[in-house]
Amino acid sequence: MHLPRLYSFRRCPYAMRARLGILFAEQKVQLREIVLKNKPAQMLAISPKGTVPVLELAEGDSSKRLVIEESREILDWALQQKDPQGLLNVDLVSAQALLDRNDNEFKHWLDRYKYADRHPELSQLEYRQQGEVFLQELENLLGKNRYLLGDNISIADIGILPFVRQFAHVDREVFYSLPYPDLQQWLRDWLEHPVFQQVMIKFQPWQEGGEVVIFPSGSHLSFLI
């Protein structure tokens, strides 16, 4: 079976983004769950930077492969193969701008909020407040539409979801006490979504010679919320 190989780590938001794209695009991959403290040599050989996700594409001859090392590029690749839910049927300039804000500004403050003890320049509260600038922008968008850029799911939703989830999970009680009711409901809906639940299935770390894990393993689930 010639399938792309996806090196992934279940809790990494970038890897979640890639898996969401693969599911929404109705693609199948060989999933290789890694352990961050013991990264497989096979992954490092094709992607020396050593971060996930990494997608190794099979192109006919299995000895000739193309490697995609960034989550947004994997997301774009997947939806270019197939986009049955129309996630690309949106203002892509606005979508990419929102993803840029997420990946550059919001992720910066998210990391410092989550690991405030490593960044004593500001307090955890101050880091959270910096991150809330982006949360307020998302709240404003969701006050107008069911999803970030309209009444239908778009690439922006699945690209940003894992990072809002991570922000919320730093302190769930605090997050759900903040004045962002539309964003909070958006996140709740996503966490209960069958596709997201499939994205978060636990797999044993991959080992050379071990069982091949096909993702997704079963039939595609309903994409409707």
Q: What was the pLDDT predicted at 136?
A: 98
List of domains in the chain: 5-84+196-215 (3.40.30.10), 92-191 (1.20.1050.10)
Element counts in the chain: helices (H) and strands (E): 10, 5
85-138 pLDDT, tens digit per residue, is 999 999 999 999 999 999 999 999 999 999 999 999 999 999 999 999 999 999
Q: Which of 47, 50, 52 is nearest to 31 (CA)?
A: 52
Q: Which of 209, 207, 203, 157 is nearest to 183 (CA)?
A: 157
Q: Which of 157, 175, 156 is nearest to 166 (CA)?
A: 175
pTM to 2 decimal places: 0.93
How many CA atoms does the CB half-sphere of 174 hold within 13 Å?
12
Whether residue 6 contacts residue 206, with contact meaning beta carbons closer than 8 Å, is answered with no
Q: What was the pLDDT predicted at 27?
A: 96
Amino acid at 66: L
The mean pLDDT value for 184-210 works out to 96
Q: What was the pLDDT predicted at 62?
A: 47
Give residue for tokens 């393993």. 217
63-89 pLDDT, tens digit per residue, is 456 999 999 999 999 999 999 999 999
The mean pLDDT value for 126-154 works out to 98
What is the rounded distance in angstroms from the CA atom of residue 221 to the CA atom of residue 201? Answer: 14
What percent of the chain has pLDDT above 90?
A: 90
